[in-house]
Amino acid sequence: MSNAQPVERTLVLLKPDAVARGLTGQILARYEAKGLVIVALKRLLTSRETAAAHYAEHEGRDYYPALIDFITSAPLVALVLESERAIEIVRLLNGSTDSAKAAPGTIRGDLSVFHNRNLVHASDSAENAAREIGIWFPEEA
Ligand code: CDP
Ligand code: MG
């Protein structure tokens, strides 16, 4: 097809609130229904070292200590999704960071009211996708 877009991979986290609330299946179903392919997936309890590497650009922000405590507090599910324009598409499916302001129809807009417990993470650029996949799935990098 002449209008084919580049195939991308993006790093997604179903954060501890999503796993604890039993939302793993329905969130994964949204990504799959859209057409994204799960190319790697695991459930794990995150070390503080991994959390700090993942959220390095947020160090020093007022919410940073609570963010690291939260992401390491209980198991999460990390995955890599692949499709044309995957980075942009998954950010759209997730919705705005503050779930209270996220549009209905998005994961955050439909399933959370919180700014800090907002269920999901997704890479925001090709550069960060490569960096984050290297942190969580070094075998895929
Ligand atoms: O996750 P996203 O890329 O949408 O947002 P971010 O601005 O990169 O922030 C990363 C994460 O930090 C958010 O998803 C929230 O979990 C947390 N955060 C927070 O707790 N309070 C804020 N004011 C901003 C971010
Ligand atoms: Mg971000």
Report pLDDT for 22. Answer: 98
Rounded distance, CA 45 to CA 7, Å?
A: 30
Task: Please choose from 116, 123, 125 the residue to mutate so as to test ligand 1's pocket, defined by most ligand atoms within 8 A of CB.
Answer: 116
Nearest CA to ligand 1 atom 20: 116
* Tens-place pLDDT, residues 11-49: 999 999 999 999 999 999 999 999 999 999 999 999 999
Say if strands 7-14 and 37-44 run parallel, antiparallel, or are unpaired: unpaired
Task: Please choose from 67, 69, 92, 128 the residue to mutate so as to test ligand 1's pocket, defined by most ligand atoms within 8 A of CB.
Answer: 67
Structure pTM?
0.97
